[in-house]
Structure 1
Amino acid sequence: MSYPALFTTPGMRSFAEDVDAERQRQLEKFGDQRHPVLLGPNNQLLFEKLAEGLRETNEDPLQRCWMTILLEEAYEAGAERDLAKFREEIIQVAAVCQAIVTDLDRQGAKR
């Protein structure tokens, strides 16, 4: 499927088209799913601790990689108690995913 050129970030259009195609596959396979967005304080505390550990890891350029960056963002999202802030964090997760895919494409991973 082709979309109008709405994006200025390199690789964003291709990323959005790939995500849209995958989402369509998911909808066909699983239907429209409904799950809790955030669960109780025990989960949030766990995610806070995991995010903090990855923040420390990502401060060291010798340990930082795309997966530690992505997981830090995901755990920060899971630690949020406010739905609006949770949404902001999920957008950050998506932005990191786009950066990873663009980097992979530059390395020749695109099929």
Structure 2
Amino acid sequence: MTTHHDRQARILADVKAERDAQDARFGIQDLPDGTGGLATVDVADQYREDCDRAFAAGRGTYRHVFLEEVFEAMAESDSAKLRAELIQAIAVGVKWVEGIDRRESR
């Protein structure tokens, strides 16, 4: 039986393999963040409210949570806060993949 930690290890290995493939294809890139600004804050607020409404109505999904986290990151201009938001978004993405893997293993 595959355990929770086994699934996470496989997912994180998949993420590492993808990152290695990206570096092999594009090299190490230092691009600007491109985040922050009032427009992105408004969009983040909309996704947060959409997520809250969906869960209050009992119809929340991984999509709601993931998009909320992604757009919170897009709204952030402070590097330390952006990093924290990206980690949250990535963690939700891993959690979502765990859910897919659990469904597929049944």
RMSD in angstroms over aligned alpha carbons?
2.0
TM-score by length of 1: 0.77
Deviations, residues 72-101 of structure 1 (Å, cap 9, x unaligned)? 111111111211111110110111011001
Q: Percent sequence identity over matched residues?
A: 33
Number of paired residues? 99
Match of 1:74 in 2: 70
- Higher mean displacement: 14-23 or 48-57: 48-57
Partner of 1:4: none
Contact 1:57 1:63 in 2 (8 A): no
Structure 1 CA distance, aligned partners of 2:74 and 2:91? 16
Task: Please state which structure has a larger fraction of its residues in helix.
Answer: 2
Unaligned runs of 5+ in 1: 1-7
| 8 Å CA contact retained: 1:57, 1:64 | no
2:102 to 94, 102, 106: 106
Moved over 6 A (4+): none
Secondary structure at 2:80's aligned position in 1? Answer: helix
Which of the numbers 25, 49, 69 marks the counterpart of 2:21? 25
Question: Aligned pair in 2 of structure 1 residues 45, 10: CA closer, same or farther (>3 Å)?
Answer: farther
Deviates more, 1:84-93 or 1:47-56: 47-56
Note the residue ranges of structure 2 that are not aligned, 5 or more in a row. Answer: none
| Aligned amino acid, residue 73 of structure 2 | A
Point out which structure has higher relative CO (alpha carbons under 8 A, 6+ apart).
2
In the aligned structure 2, how far is the partner of 1:55 from the partner of 1:101?
21
